[in-house]
Amino acid sequence: MEATGFGNGLYDESELDAKSITERDAKINFLSKVIALVELMNGEKIDVKPAKIVAGHEPEKTNAMLQSMFRAATSGVDS
């Protein structure tokens, strides 16, 4: 967020503190928000489930989501 401004305003103050996101549901909620933003910014559905990311499953799909997030964050479009 600091480097690109991507996702500014998406999370409240408590969600931006990584130490406060320890529960599984909180992690899933955090990921769900960023995935929805990336899908909106790129205009394409991402085939990934936040629960699978939290569980450490499907690393290929997680990697594809991270690449999509990079494209959205560096697109220059205000998110």
Give the residue with greater pLDDT, 33 vs 15.
33
Q: Are 17 and 2 in contact (CB under 8 A)?
A: no
Q: Is 31 exposed, middle or buried, given 0-12, 13-18 or 19+ CB atoms closer than 10 A?
A: buried
Residue 3 confidence (pLDDT): 84
Catalogue all structural domains in the chain, each as residue range(s) with its CATH number.
Answer: 23-73 (1.10.418.50)
pLDDT at 28: 95
| Mean pLDDT along residues 30-41 | 96
Residue 4 pLDDT: 87
User: What digits encode the pLDDT tens for the residues 36-76?
Assistant: 999 999 999 999 999 999 999 999 999 999 999 999 999 98
